[in-house]
Amino acid sequence: MFDLLIKNANLPDGACGVDIAIANGVFTAVEPAIDGDASVTIDAANRLVSPPFIDPHFHMDATLSLGTPRLNRSGTLLEGIALWGELKPRLTHEAVIERALRYCDLAVSQGLLSIRSHVDVCDDRLLAVEALLDVREKVKSYIDLQLVAFPQDGLYRSANAEANLLRALDLGVDIVGGIPHFERTMQAGAASVTRLCEIAAERGLRVDMHCDESDDPMSRHIETLAVETVRLGLHGRVAGSHLTSMHSMDNYYVSKLLPLIAEAQIHAIPNPLINMTLQGRHDTYPKRRGLTRIPEMLDAGINVALGQDCCMDPWYSLGNADMLSVAHMAIHAAQMTSPAQMARLFDAVTVHSAKAMGLDDYGIRKGNPAHCVVLQARDPIEAIRLSATRLTVIRHGRIISETGPRLARLTLEGRPETVDSAQYAPVEQAK
């Protein structure tokens, strides 16, 4: 007797029509045909059943604050940071929690069940830190929330930033963050990378650094991050987020840099939605895209995970917790249009992101926690193309969100009365 049985599921790896059995919150079998009774049976009807979406780069302390106290007029990263600085003194514990929980509701409905959020520690009150620690506890039954101690105003540029960062880690924040390109000088940026990696090594923590989020081809803190990762033996435990300066770097230099990143097993976390809007703002024409070199990093053996970064905050006025829209933007901005490349970008919001976050028991496999999403699409590429409806979201074997399929009700003679849009995609395109 199973708690839940999903019949006729297509899996992201291309397997078609398999059955998935769930009992006691874990996957107990994933096989071509499973017999047996279940309390709940779902016929996936050859729709895609994916492990949940994962966002490895987000700012939950700022989310849903758009317009408070004003809008970002220039659209730049620097005005966004200044605007966040205006908002910070007005934050209240209750308001941060309320916005974060509202965002988590949206995330669940989008099948987004693991989030790594940076939290600003450049506030002596550590108000946002304490609020998001509360949120991490409140949502743990339905979302894995990792927190990164993020010195938004610079480890060395902001008074008390290092002390506050250490206090945040003492309070239980999971990961060490940084922002070397915002320090006063390149030297100070490099020194901040070294210091922050040493803190992580001393405490046995991971690192996730905002790194080189700039159009300046000489912003090369990722090089220092790779070297310090190797020196301190942090291989596979460090992420470089954004890395946008790589877009503008000299090709010869990049040919040396990518093997260094691969050697350090650094996870790259581009954020295509926000960086397509923030970067190139000082250009006339032609305007740079300002997105990092995703296909080149993948080809170099680097784990590339995509993040959303922002949702209705001082930096970005859109966002909807839909990691498929993140992959969709990456396909366009990085010109990754072949079927194999598009499929890799689906992986970038699922398995690659799980790897970046260190989630070892992720995936639809016997023995893993039963987290999955039934989508109104047949395969990963179709899911991205259609921004597929998350029909059923399952966490620990329990249905935690349901959304009805997109159905057109037609009256044309000779046509079906009800059309499931996802069922009418040409098979050749979906493969």
Instruction: Decide whether 212 or 309 has the Cβ nearer to Fe ion.
Output: 309
Instruction: Decide whether 3 or 55 has the Cβ nearer to Fe ion.
Output: 55
CB of 208 to Fe ion, least distance (A): 9
Instruction: Please say whether the beta carbons of 339 and 314 come within 8 A.
Output: no
Q: Across-strand partners of 129?
A: none
Total residues at interface with Fe ion (CB under 5 A)? 1
| Cα–Cα dist 128/216, whole Å | 31
Assign 315 to helix, strand or coil.
coil
Residue 213 annotated as catalytic: yes
Count of beta carbons in the 10 Å neighbourhood of residue 73: 8
Assign 135 to helix, strand or coil.
helix
| Cα–Cα dist 259/196, whole Å | 23
CB of 116 to Fe ion, least distance (A): 10
Q: How many CA atoms lie within 13 A of 386 on its CB side?
A: 25
Taking the CA atoms of 105, 108, 110 and 112 in sequence, report the sign of the dihedral they define.
positive
CB of 181 to Fe ion, least distance (A): 12
Interface pattern 327-366 for Fe ion (x via CB under 5 A):
----------------------------------------
Q: Which stretch binds Fe ion (CB under 5 A): 18-26, 125-133, 246-254, 307-315?
A: 307-315
Q: Of these residues, 183, 213, 228, 382, which one is catalytic?
A: 213
246 secondary structure, DSSP code: G
CB of 260 to Fe ion, least distance (A): 23
Instruction: Decide whether 55 or 309 has the Cβ nearer to Fe ion.
Output: 309
Instruction: Decide whether 314 or 397 has the Cβ nearer to Fe ion.
Output: 314
Q: How many CA atoms lie within 13 A of 348 on its CB side?
A: 36
Instruction: Decide whether 23 or 274 has the Cβ nearer to Fe ion.
Output: 274
309 secondary structure, DSSP code: B
Q: Which stretch binds Fe ion (CB under 5 A): 46-54, 229-237, 309-317, 378-386?
A: 309-317
Interface pattern 408-427 for Fe ion (x via CB under 5 A):
--------------------
Residue among 343, 325, 340, 336 nearest 390 (CA): 325
CB of 118 to Fe ion, least distance (A): 6
Instruction: Please say whether the beta carbons of 63 and 121 come within 8 A.
Output: no
Tell whether residue 153 is a contact of Fe ion (CB under 5 A): no
Largest Cα–Cα distance of the chain, in whole Å? Answer: 72
Contacts of 412 by beta carbon, 8 Å cutoff, 6+ apart = none
| Cα–Cα dist 425/12, whole Å | 17
Q: Which stretch binds Fe ion (CB under 5 A): 71-79, 308-316, 340-348, 350-358?
A: 308-316
Q: Which stretch binds Fe ion (CB under 5 A): 32-40, 277-285, 303-311, 336-344?
A: 303-311
Q: Which stretch binds Fe ion (CB under 5 A): 178-186, 220-228, 304-312, 353-361?
A: 304-312
| Cα–Cα dist 164/128, whole Å | 12
Q: Tally the residues of the chain.
A: 431
Q: Which stretch binds Fe ion (CB under 5 A): 138-146, 196-204, 301-309, 397-405?
A: 301-309
Instruction: Decide whether 357 or 388 has the Cβ nearer to Fe ion.
Output: 357
Interface pattern 43-82 for Fe ion (x via CB under 5 A):
----------------------------------------
Q: How many CA atoms lie within 13 A of 290 on its CB side?
A: 23
CB of 216 to Fe ion, least distance (A): 17
287 secondary structure, DSSP code: P
CB of 271 to Fe ion, least distance (A): 7
**Sequence letter at residue 289:** R
CB of 173 to Fe ion, least distance (A): 16
Which one of 61, 309, 322, 382 is in contact with Fe ion (CB under 5 A)?
A: 309
Radius of gyration, alpha carbons of the chain: 22
**Residue whose CB is nearest to Fe ion in the complex, by number:** 309
Interface pattern 166-185 for Fe ion (x via CB under 5 A):
--------------------
CB of 211 to Fe ion, least distance (A): 10
Residue among 343, 295, 316, 302 nearest 83 (CA): 316
Instruction: Decide whether 179 or 261 has the Cβ nearer to Fe ion.
Output: 179
Burial letters 133-168, b for 16+ CB under 10 A, else e = bebbeebeebbbbbbbbbbbbbbbbbeebbebbebb
Instruction: Decide whether 215 or 309 has the Cβ nearer to Fe ion.
Output: 309
Instruction: Decide whether 307 or 363 has the Cβ nearer to Fe ion.
Output: 307
Residues designated as active site: 213
Contact positions vs Fe ion (CB under 5 A): 309
